[in-house]
Amino acid sequence: MDEKMKTISGIQTLLKFTYGLIPIVAGADKFTNLLVDWAKYLHPSLAAMLPFKSSFFMMIVGVIEIVAGIIVLAKPSVGAYIVSAWLVLIALNLLASSNYFDVAVRDIAMAIGAFSLARLSTVTQE
């Protein structure tokens, strides 16, 4: 493997672990709220429509995030697209609620990174 491919492989590995492990950790935290009270990020109109508590909804979100992270680790050419779309949806939820614009911008930037991993993985056939 030439030096250029080693560099690309190293970048791809770093991105794979970043976009695989962060959703798993964030998803697991939906059950404990050690990092943050996740329900506060839920758009109030959406929370009002739910037939159950926001905290239970966030646990469902946590399961989705854990699964998405596992898919990224197993097959980044698929999982990174899922994580990218998920991050865009989170950002849209935050923008719609007119709160947490800083987190929305961060999530959009992270979505671009996840999309980049997906494209890179597609090109390198991982």
Contact 54, 47 (CB under 8 A): yes
* Structural domain span for residue 53: 3-124
**Percent of all residues in the chain with a pLDDT value above 70, rounded to a whole number:** 98
- Domain total in the chain: 1
Q: Which of 85, 87, 83, 81 is nearest to 120 (CA)?
A: 81
Mean pLDDT of 108-119: 96
pLDDT tens column, 40-93: 888 888 888 989 998 899 999 999 999 999 999 999 999 999 999 999 998 998
